[in-house]
Amino acid sequence: MSVRVAILGASGYSGAELLRYLYLRKSITDDVEIAALTASSRVDSSVASVLPQFRHLLSSSGDVPKFCRWQDVDWGSIDIAFCALPHGTTQEVITELWDYPSLRIVDLSADFRLRSLAEYERWYGKAHGAPRLQDEATYGLSEHFRDSIGNSRLVANPGCYAAAVQLALLPLAGLIDCSSISIDAKSGVTGAGRSLRDEFLYCEVNEDLRAYALSGHRHVAEIEQGLELALAMRETAGEGGGGREMASEKSPLGSTSGSTLGSTSGSSSLSDLRVSFIPHLVPMDRGILTTSYLRLRAGESVSSCLSAYERAYDGSAFIEICRDGSVPSVKSLRGTNRCSLAIFADRRPGWIVVFSAIDNLGKGAAGMAMQNMNLMLGLAEDYGFADYALVP
Amino acid sequence: MSVRVAILGASGYSGAELLRYLYLRKSITDDVEIAALTASSRVDSSVASVLPQFRHLLSSSGDVPKFCRWQDVDWGSIDIAFCALPHGTTQEVITELWDYPSLRIVDLSADFRLRSLAEYERWYGKAHGAPRLQDEATYGLSEHFRDSIGNSRLVANPGCYAAAVQLALLPLAGLIDCSSISIDAKSGVTGAGRSLRDEFLYCEVNEDLRAYALSGHRHVAEIEQGLELALAMRETAGEGGGGREMASEKSPLGSTSGSTLGSTSGSSSLSDLRVSFIPHLVPMDRGILTTSYLRLRAGESVSSCLSAYERAYDGSAFIEICRDGSVPSVKSLRGTNRCSLAIFADRRPGWIVVFSAIDNLGKGAAGMAMQNMNLMLGLAEDYGFADYALVP
Amino acid sequence: MSVRVAILGASGYSGAELLRYLYLRKSITDDVEIAALTASSRVDSSVASVLPQFRHLLSSSGDVPKFCRWQDVDWGSIDIAFCALPHGTTQEVITELWDYPSLRIVDLSADFRLRSLAEYERWYGKAHGAPRLQDEATYGLSEHFRDSIGNSRLVANPGCYAAAVQLALLPLAGLIDCSSISIDAKSGVTGAGRSLRDEFLYCEVNEDLRAYALSGHRHVAEIEQGLELALAMRETAGEGGGGREMASEKSPLGSTSGSTLGSTSGSSSLSDLRVSFIPHLVPMDRGILTTSYLRLRAGESVSSCLSAYERAYDGSAFIEICRDGSVPSVKSLRGTNRCSLAIFADRRPGWIVVFSAIDNLGKGAAGMAMQNMNLMLGLAEDYGFADYALVP
Amino acid sequence: MSVRVAILGASGYSGAELLRYLYLRKSITDDVEIAALTASSRVDSSVASVLPQFRHLLSSSGDVPKFCRWQDVDWGSIDIAFCALPHGTTQEVITELWDYPSLRIVDLSADFRLRSLAEYERWYGKAHGAPRLQDEATYGLSEHFRDSIGNSRLVANPGCYAAAVQLALLPLAGLIDCSSISIDAKSGVTGAGRSLRDEFLYCEVNEDLRAYALSGHRHVAEIEQGLELALAMRETAGEGGGGREMASEKSPLGSTSGSTLGSTSGSSSLSDLRVSFIPHLVPMDRGILTTSYLRLRAGESVSSCLSAYERAYDGSAFIEICRDGSVPSVKSLRGTNRCSLAIFADRRPGWIVVFSAIDNLGKGAAGMAMQNMNLMLGLAEDYGFADYALVP
């Protein structure tokens, strides 16, 4: 029987990419039905005019729903809602949807990513509008929180940068000096969404390159939260323990874990963890590459870090670890849910350089969202994917 | 049971795109086995180093064959060979392969596209090396020669420009003044293949735009051949007749049709048919857009031309006709086997402007090749496709 | 003594490019003073924030004026105003400025390009707001109307496409069949100005290619006007006569020429002249390439057309005629006021293909504007230029 | 009287950019004569076919010399030679030219950048072929070694990355912890020159992003050499002393300084200075952006670092320090010899992030070379420049 799916905010880049993943899935496993597409500002537009890449589906099969308002969806009949709405309004919408007990939600906005309401307020400039829901939410970094995600009704898909960085750094948290983390991140322009702003006009971006968000990019809050958690888990488990899933019985970033983490003694310094994170805008459509400069703890090495990757990602379908001296590049991941990782020795003894690459619309948004849907449905995490990059 | 497939010249852009189509097909229908990949100059390279987008397949499933020389393939066990070799050498290779009676071949080179050996010699600068095979070959413009392709052992996939132009013009051949055809074509850089030439370096192409092949692009020979045939068929069938398949009993560009066409009386002027065709190089990876300026015959109109399209392409899975005033664009077809067509009235009364857009590596190469494979196997032409464009 | 110059609308791409040309001129001839920059919507912004490329001038020399409202300029002290305002508002502003008798204006908007008020109304959707000024205006296609421009107080700089096309076609008007002109034009994205519209976002333009303005681009009106005039002049002068300047005693597109042209008898068909003109958007910042498909009149040839170019452009500093088989390309003109032209025989006997390339912000806007300023000041047309392209 | 200039290796990107700078200079100061252009592999090609951007000069003025072999130049008549030859061959050529005592040389290759012959051998894989000349060479980082450059016959222009990084870091050497320097560098594709390699084909670079040279980029040797020198000078001068020119009486990287530096006692640790430097290839033609993650020494701050910049670059025409919160971007420097610098506080207390941006063909090659020519001739360093960026 088909899973009935709705996409809220289907006209943006992430929403449209989700639609592509879901149609592809239909071709493969035929286990989903795209039941509703909401796009408040486009209710009167045809899908073909906004998303011409799906034009052929309209005439042939008739199974592309029209854009509608989210209020007009029959939510009682929906199994999974992907929420690709702007930050802020998401809270309100999901609060409304919460009354439908059989509905599970993967939220691609930032509204439920930060466990701490105080942090949310600090980064987003206003009090959280749905604190009770925040308590229900699980952070959807699939490879690290599979069990929690599987048990959750509300999964907060990571920010694109946060996904790329945490996949590279979380397994290394105990092996490096977390006070000396410098992360240089570069992103294609879809990372900014379909925002109609002067700075994203073709002629403003093309042939240019610059850093931005110097006063602090919001994704750094997710990164620091993830690192703190990883360190705390490690302490709890004892050095060297832990295993692949960060969450053991109690889901660490999910409903019951807040207090657990809060009580981890001996880690008073964790809340001061600060990393440097500088994002740059690169003239290309898709792709994030992160380059992290890390100081090893005494006794650690490239080799021990690679072993940590292998432990963390053993059996992970979407993680590839470059072992042959090659470096991650974004084009070879274009259109996929994969993440490439590599570790190199730095010129400075005792330091390493770590790379991660993803497609920001794939592993950084729609791909990870569908992976989370699989986890929530108890399926293999790569079920319904056909993960072949478009090159060139 | 699986169809066993080989790709000759798998390290080029068309070969790699074929590999992507075939892996995608495996995900969907699981009816193919990629049995051999040849790449003479890369025999010692790993697939991962040349085609890093398939790196993850190597470790996980082990079912990516190594690059080998074509002489080292066990051809007796192969069902379909896709030949993406350079022009010229193809003839020699296919001559060798012809002894394997169960092997069917889709050739993506130019070696078997021109029915006339004299024309071949004129355009390619040397006598054809396999005239007997040329006699066996069918021109693989899928939508127009389905029956012939289905019955053929050797299908000559059209040139990328020739595909885009003929899909737009063949249905209109009888409705327009064929002595006044001006075709302005624009292509992304993959159209040139992976040629290591100064003019295709990034900094030579980027931010530039220019026409090329002013002394005559070889694809124009295919276009004129196709138009001549379309006119001859129309005469034979009587004006207004014809139906969807150009070939009736005798396949027109296949083995037995040469003499048939040669004898079409009353069409002495056909061999003088000349069209203007100017290709331009555009700074983008993929995509062909053609803009044709055409004078209508008396009594014809945009409307009658659209009707001709509908007759020609009724039931064609990969052809979309823009009817809502929208214009074909290449990005919304990226990674697909689709072709978008549109017709607009010109400012000059009695003239029209016709657009066609394709992905030159899809409908212009690998996609059409797999479509032809389907026809040769008696399958639906869109079997095993998942035709969702990567946008943005 | 310095010429005092003002730029109205200095924050757009054309305005900023004018600023670059003028600063470069200061470095060379030191005969201009940039007295005022207006940018109504940016009055409160610093030039450095809007045009960071001029940031260094602010600190060092202090001679970059602040953005102001045009109403706040002391127009009595200005010699030349470059008007790079949006269409429509230009008329109102110039009407106000007309009271300053020593002020001469080069208008880069479309407001004064069309001689016929009826045509203006048809293309721009409203009655012309300054018909008396239209009567004063001269069409600023420098190479063809030097004398008229030199005598004019108000010069209407051509549209970017109109400049590229007319430079290619006007000299050939008498040699070709003007009823069979197909012009395929391609432009970089700056051609659209700094418009904040969804379709000009990076991810919408990049890797895409499409035609636009299918219902008729406004520049075609200039092109048809120019061709009609060129044909009329030729008739008046007698076939083969004419010489380099279209205007003889009476400036053809200037104040007194309207009635002259209107009375040219025997050319009743001229007003029906229609050309096909299809513009395409190409993913690059700058550059226009036009490809025209033309049928020759009996007796004409590539050679006679090249001779017509040489007659028309003898002594023209900014026109280069490719004679060595090379084709015009846009990158080799980037940042210049030059135009490259080439003529090739078509495959169809009796037809030719003509190319022209310009930088749309140079010859298509700011460069031609400064060239016109030179003509208005009685200087050599290339005075103060340093016309070296930025390549790559 | 004119300075007679030759460019060796004029067909590459740096050579052609030099030609553009020199022609622009001719327009402004008319004090140079381009006497010879060598391009061994292009002797039989016309300049117009290799560098079409200069095509118009050939016909009009006749003052573009033909490409010749360097052996065919009358070196006795040349005042300044810009040497843009490949690494390695440069040594041999300059050795030959050294016999012309009036000839001064700006070398854009890497052959004379490293003071230590052992370091040269380590990085370039063979013994230096002209050790005596190395002794004569001065490192041409204009803003830091003006006096030495002015007194030298052989100036080694810095590598493009080395220029961007050192302009950012040298003034801060005494204020930061030099054992914790992480430099993330990004470059456009011209940084690789006009190399005909598969990896620089359009479709390999476009829409991709990756790090390279993981085993160590040669420019890091220049960077470490520069930092060591800056630290040594600082020690010699006493903390806080020093002034703007690093070299005091004896030019530090020039002929007599080797032993001086070698003898600086107390700095035994300097030779172990290692920085992390990771270059990335970005899909754009021009531009380098560097992002450095630095730990401050106790007592230092963003403010004290900015003061160090102001001391170091007071009166430097080509350095702009962003003080208004804006960040350096490469496009606003395109075609110029300028460098933009900015310093921001890091999220981690006690750390800063420093940006520098240049045009790699300008400040990173041709622009700095002409600046050095000015210093060698005793002219103002910005003499003959017209430093207006091409935007967009």
Residues whose CB is less than 8 angstroms from the CB of residue C61 and which lie 6 or more positions away in sequence, other chains included? none
Q: State the chains in contact with D (3 or more Cβ–Cβ pairs under 8 Å).
A: A, B, C
With bands split at pLDDT 50, 70 and 90, how would you rate the model's confidence at D251?
Answer: very low
Query: How many CB contacts within 8 angstroms connect chain A with chain D?
Result: 147
Question: What pLDDT is attached to residue D59?
Answer: 56
With bands split at pLDDT 50, 70 and 90, how would you rate the model's confidence at A237?
Answer: confident
Listed in order, strand segments (DSSP E) in C39-93 are: 67-68, 80-83
Say which of A83, A160, A178, A305 is annotated catalytic: A160
B19 token code pair: 């590999």
Q: Does D201 touch chain A (CB under 8 A)?
A: no
CA distance C335 to A266: 63
In chain C, which ranges are continuous DSSP H helix? 13-28, 47-50, 55-60, 89-97, 117-124, 131-136, 146-150, 160-169, 202-205, 219-237, 257-263, 302-313, 367-376
Question: What pLDDT is attached to residue B257?
Answer: 39
Question: What pLDDT is attached to residue B258?
Answer: 38
CA distance D116 to C193: 53
Is-contact C192 C200, C-beta < 8 A? yes
Q: State the chains in contact with C (3 or more Cβ–Cβ pairs under 8 Å).
A: A, B, D
Mean pLDDT in chain A?
Answer: 91
Q: To probe the interface with D, which of B45, B195, B197, B201 has the most D CB atoms within 10 Å?
A: B201
- In chain C, which residues have their Cβ closer than 8 Å to the Cβ of A202? 189, 200-202, 204-206, 283, 285
> Tokens 């197909």 label which residue?
C182
D381 token code pair: 């360093």
Q: Kindly provide the ipTM of the predicted complex, given to two decimals.
A: 0.93
> How much is the average pLDDT of C286-305?
98
Say which range, B255-269, C2-16, C33-47, has the weakest mean pLDDT.
B255-269
- Asked whether the predicted pLDDT for residue C6 surpasses 80, the reply is yes
With bands split at pLDDT 50, 70 and 90, how would you rate the model's confidence at D345?
Answer: very high
CB contact burial A163-200 (16+ within 10 A = b; e otherwise) = bbbbbbbbbbbbbbebebbbbbbbbbbbbbbbeeeeeb
Q: Does C206 touch chain B (CB under 8 A)?
A: yes
Residues whose CB is less than 8 angstroms from the CB of residue C128 and which lie 6 or more positions away in sequence, other chains included? C91, C111, C117, C120, C121, C134
Instruction: Name which of D28, D386, D20 is nearest C28 in CA terms.
Output: D28
- Asked whether the predicted pLDDT for residue D246 surpasses 60, the reply is no
- In chain B, which residues have their Cβ closer than 8 Å to the Cβ of C286? 207
In chain A, which ranges are continuous DSSP H helix? 13-28, 47-50, 55-60, 89-97, 117-124, 131-136, 146-150, 160-169, 202-205, 219-237, 257-262, 302-313, 367-376
Helix (H) or strand (E) holding D133: helix D131-136
Q: Does C209 touch chain B (CB under 8 A)?
A: yes
Q: Does B272 touch chain A (CB under 8 A)?
A: no
Q: Does A27 touch chain B (CB under 8 A)?
A: yes
> How much is the average pLDDT of A338-365?
98
Cα C144 to chain centroid distance, Å, stands at 11
CA distance A56 to A30: 19
CA distance B188 to B289: 9
Q: To probe the interface with D, which of A123, A218, A276, A355 has the most D CB atoms within 10 Å?
A: A276
CA distance A215 to D347: 9
- Asked whether the predicted pLDDT for residue D5 surpasses 50, the reply is yes
Instruction: Name which of A52, A61, A51, A53 is nearest A10 in CA terms.
Output: A51
With bands split at pLDDT 50, 70 and 90, how would you rate the model's confidence at C272?
Answer: confident
Q: Does C197 touch chain A (CB under 8 A)?
A: yes
Spans in chain B with pLDDT lower than 50: 241-244, 247-270
Pairwise CB contact (< 8 Å): C210 & B329? yes
What proportion of chain A, given as a percentage, has pLDDT over 90?
A: 82
Q: To probe the interface with A, which of B17, B27, B339 has the most A CB atoms within 10 Å?
A: B27
With bands split at pLDDT 50, 70 and 90, how would you rate the model's confidence at C1?
Answer: confident
Helix, strand, or coil here: B236?
Answer: helix
Question: What pLDDT is attached to residue B61?
Answer: 55
What proportion of chain C, given as a percentage, has pLDDT over 70?
A: 90
> How much is the average pLDDT of C151-159?
98
With bands split at pLDDT 50, 70 and 90, how would you rate the model's confidence at A269?
Answer: very low
Is-contact D81 D6, C-beta < 8 A? yes
More confident site: B47 or A171: A171
Active-site residue C160, yes or no?
Answer: yes
Q: Render pLDDT for D259-274 as a digit per residue (tens, 0 to 9).
A: 333 333 333 344 689 9
Pairwise CB contact (< 8 Å): D207 & A353? no
Mean pLDDT in chain C?
Answer: 91
Question: What pLDDT is attached to residue B241?
Answer: 45
CA distance D338 to A102: 61
> Which residue in B has a C-alpha nearest to residue D188's C-alpha?
B203
Range ranked top by mean pLDDT from A191-200, B228-237, C299-308:
C299-308
Q: Give the predicted TM-score (pTM) of the model.
A: 0.94
- In chain A, which residues have their Cβ closer than 8 Å to the Cβ of B285? 392
Q: State the chains in contact with A (3 or more Cβ–Cβ pairs under 8 Å).
A: B, C, D
Q: Which of C13, C202, C284 sits opposite A205 (nearest CB)?
A: C202
Pairwise CB contact (< 8 Å): C282 & B282? yes
Say which of B83, B160, B178, B305 is annotated catalytic: B160
> Which residue in A has a C-alpha nearest to residue D283's C-alpha?
A283
- Count each helix (H run) and each strand (E run) in chain C, helices first: 13, 14
Say which range, B24-33, B350-359, D60-69, D334-343, has the weakest mean pLDDT.
D60-69
Question: What pLDDT is attached to residue A242?
Answer: 44
Question: What pLDDT is attached to residue C215?
Answer: 93
- Asked whether the predicted pLDDT for residue D152 surpasses 50, the reply is yes
> How much is the average pLDDT of A229-233?
93
- In chain C, which residues have their Cβ closer than 8 Å to the Cβ of B392? 203-204, 206-207
Q: Taking the CA of residue D143 as centre, how many other CA atoms within 13 Å lie in the half-sphere pointing to its CB?
A: 28
Question: What pLDDT is attached to residue C241?
Answer: 45
Mean pLDDT in chain D?
Answer: 91
With bands split at pLDDT 50, 70 and 90, how would you rate the model's confidence at A233?
Answer: confident
